[in-house]
Amino acid sequence: MRFWRWWVQNRNREADLERELRSHIEAEAEEQREAGVTSEEAAYAAQRALGNTTRIKEDVRMAWGLRWLETLIQDLSYGLRTMRRSPGLTAVAVLSLALGIGANTAIFSLMNAVMLRDLPVKNPDQLVLLGTGRASGSTDDFASTPLYSYPFYRELQQKNQVFSAVSAVLSLTFNSMHGAVGESGSLEPMDVQLVSGTYFSMLGVEPILGRAFTQADDEPAGGHPIAVVSYSWWKRRFARDPSVLGNTVRLGSTVYTIVGVTPPDFFGTTVGQSPDLWIPLSMEKQISPGWNGLDNKWFQSLDVLGRLKPGVTVTQAEANVNLLARQIWHEFAGAVLTKEQQIALKRANIQLTPAARGLSRLRFQFSLPLQILMAVVGLVLLIACANIANLLLARATTRQREIAVRMAIGAGRARLIRQMLTESFLMALCGGALGVAFAWWASEALLAMVSTGSRPLPLSVAPDGRVLLFTFLVSLITALLFGTAPALRATRLDLTPALKEGRGVASIASSSRLSKILIASQVALSLLLLIAAGLFLRTLVNLANVSTGFDKKNVLLFGIDPSDVGYKEDARLANLYGQIEQRVSAQPGVRAASISFFTFNEGGWDGPVEVEGRNLAASADNDVLHNVVGSGYFATLGIPVLFGRVFTRDDTAASPKVAVINETMARQFFPGGSPIGRRFGTGNDPKHSSDFEVVGVVKDAKYISLREKQWPAAYYPYTQNLQYYNDLDVRYSGDPKAIVAEVRRAVGQVDHNLPLTYNDTLAQQVDRSVTSQTLIARLSAFFGLLAVFLACIGLYGLMSYAVTRRTNEIGIRMALGAGKTNVLWMVMRESLTLAALGIAIGMPVALAASRLVSKMLYGLGPVDPLSMIAAAVLLLAFAALAGYLPARRAARVDPMVALRYE
Amino acid sequence: MTITKEAYNRIELLQGTLDMLILRTLVLGPAHGHEIAKHIQRTTDDVLQVEHGSLYPALHRLERKGWLTAKWETPKEGKREFKYYRLTPAGKKQLATEQSKWRLLVESIARVMGGETA
CB contact, 8 Å: A6 with chain B? no
CB contact under 8 A, B53 and A64: no
- The larger pLDDT score, comparing residue A288 to residue A299, is at A299
Return the pLDDT at A380.
92
Residues B68, B86 contacting (CB under 8 angstroms): yes
Where residue A5 falls among pLDDT bands split at 50, 70, 90?
A: low
> Quick one: pLDDT at residue B2?
40
Q: Is residue B5 part of a domain?
A: no
| Most confident residue range from A133-137, A344-348, A701-705 | A701-705
A331 Cβ under 8 Å from any chain B Cβ = no
- Average pLDDT in chain A: 86
Query: DSSP labels for A735-793?
Result: -HHHHHHHHHHHHHHH-TTS-EEEEEEHHHHHHHTTHHHHHHHHHHHHHHHHHHHHHHH
Question: Which residues on neighbouring strands pair with residue A787, listed in sequence order?
Answer: none
CATH number for the domain that contains residue B61: 1.10.10.10
Q: How far is B105 from chain A (nearest CA, A)?
A: 26
pLDDT at A506 over 50: no
B80 to A28: CB separation less than 8 angstroms, yes or no: no
With CA atoms as reference, report the closest residue to A142 among A359, A282, A335, A328: A328
With 0-12 / 13-18 / 19 or more C-beta atoms within 10 angstroms meaning exposed / middle / buried, residue A775 is buried
**Chain A residues in contact with B38 (beta carbon < 8 A):** 31
Contact: B53, A21; criterion CB under 8 Å: no
DSSP A710: P
Does residue B55 lie within any of the structural domains? Answer: yes
Count CA atoms closer than 13 A to A526's CA, side-chain side: 36
User: What are the chain B neighbours of A22 within 8 Å (beta carbons)?
Assistant: none
* Contact between A27 and B54 using a beta-carbon 8 Å cutoff: no
Q: What is the DSSP string of chain B?
A: --B-SS-TT-BPPPTTHHHHHHHHHHHT--EEHHHHHHHHHHHTTT-BPPPHHHHHHHHHHHHHHTSEEEEEE--SS-SS-EEEEEE-HHHHHHHHHHHHHHHHHHHHHHHHHHHHH-
Say which of B33, B35, B53 has its CB closest to residue A51. B53
Contact between chains at A62 and B57 (C-beta distance less than 8 A): yes
Are the C-beta atoms of A512 and A802 separated by less than 8 Å? Answer: yes
On whether any CB of chain B is under 8 Å from the CB of A49, the answer is: yes
Q: How far is B41 from chain A (nearest CA, A)?
A: 13
A53: closest chain B residue by CA: B53
Please give the span between the terminal C-alpha atoms of chain A, in angstroms, as a whole number. 54
Of A354-368, A502-516, A670-684, least confident by mean pLDDT is: A502-516
pLDDT band at residue A225 under the 50/70/90 scheme: very high
Residue B6 lies in a domain: no
| Contact residues, chain A, for B56 at CB < 8 Å | 17, 20-21, 24, 56, 59-60
Residue B70 lies in a domain: yes
CA R_g for chain A: 37
Regarding beta strands A226-229 and A254-261, do their DSSP bridges make them parallel or antiparallel, or are they unpaired? parallel
**A672 part of contact set with chain B, CB < 8 Å:** no
- CB proximity list for A704: less than 8 A, separation 6 or greater: A600, A601, A602, A603, A604, A625, A711
Tell me what the mean pLDDT of segment A392-417 comes to: 79
| Alpha carbons A568 and A580: distance in angstroms, whole number | 17
Asked whether residue A503 carries a pLDDT value surpassing 70, the answer given is no
* A354-402 residue pLDDT tens: 999 988 878 888 888 899 999 999 999 999 999 888 888 877 777 777 8
pLDDT above 90: residue A617 = no
Q: Are strands A658-662 and A679-682 parallel, antiparallel or unpaired?
A: unpaired
Neighboring chain A residues of B73 at a CB cutoff of 8 Å: none
Q: Which residues of A touch B52 (CB under 8 A)?
A: 24, 49-51, 56
Residue B42 included in any domain: yes
A136: three-class secondary structure by DSSP: coil
Residue of chain B nearest A27, judged by CA positions: B34
Q: Is the pLDDT of residue A151 over 70?
A: yes
Provide mean pLDDT across the span A9-37: 81
> Which of B83, B84, B85 is the best mutation test for A, with the most CBs of A within 10 A?
B83
pLDDT digits (tens, 9 = 90+) for A282-292: 998 888 776 77
pLDDT in tens, A744-758: 999 999 998 888 888
In percent, how much of chain A has pLDDT > 90? 41
CB pair distance less than 8 Å for B56 and A20: yes
User: What is residue A509's predicted lDDT score, i.e. its pLDDT?
Assistant: 53
For A23, the closest of B53, B64, B80 (CB atoms) is B80
**Smallest Cβ distance to A27: which of B34, B51, B61?**
B34
The Cα of A485 is separated from the nearest Cα of chain B by a number of Å equal to 29
- Using pLDDT thresholds of 50, 70 and 90, give the confidence band for residue A408: confident
Q: Do A59 and B57 touch (CB under 8 A)?
A: yes
Contact A631, A649 (CB under 8 A): yes
Least-confidence region, from A318-322, A495-499, A715-719, B35-39: A495-499
CA atoms within 13 A on the CB side of A632: 24
Count CA within 13 A, CB hemisphere, residue B68.
28
Domain residues for the domain of B88 are 17-117
Instruction: Tell me which chain B residues have a C-beta less than 8 angstroms from the C-beta of A33.
Output: none
Q: For residues A531 and A848, what is the distance between their CA atoms, to the nearest angstrom?
A: 12
Region A304-328: what's the mean pLDDT? 93
Please give, rounded to a whole number of angstroms, the shortest distance from the CA of B28 to a CA of chain A: 20
Q: Chain A: residue nearest B49 by CA?
A: A49
Note if the bond before A220 is cis, omega within 30 degrees: yes
With a cut of 60, say whether residue B117 has pLDDT above it.
no
What is chain B's length?
118
In terms of average pLDDT, the best of A7-11, A382-386, A485-489 is A382-386
* Residues with Cβ within 8 Å of residue A25, at least 6 apart in sequence: A43, A46, A47, A50
Per-residue pLDDT for A120 more than 60? yes
Number of domains in chain B: 1
Residue in chain B closest to A28 (alpha carbons) equals B34
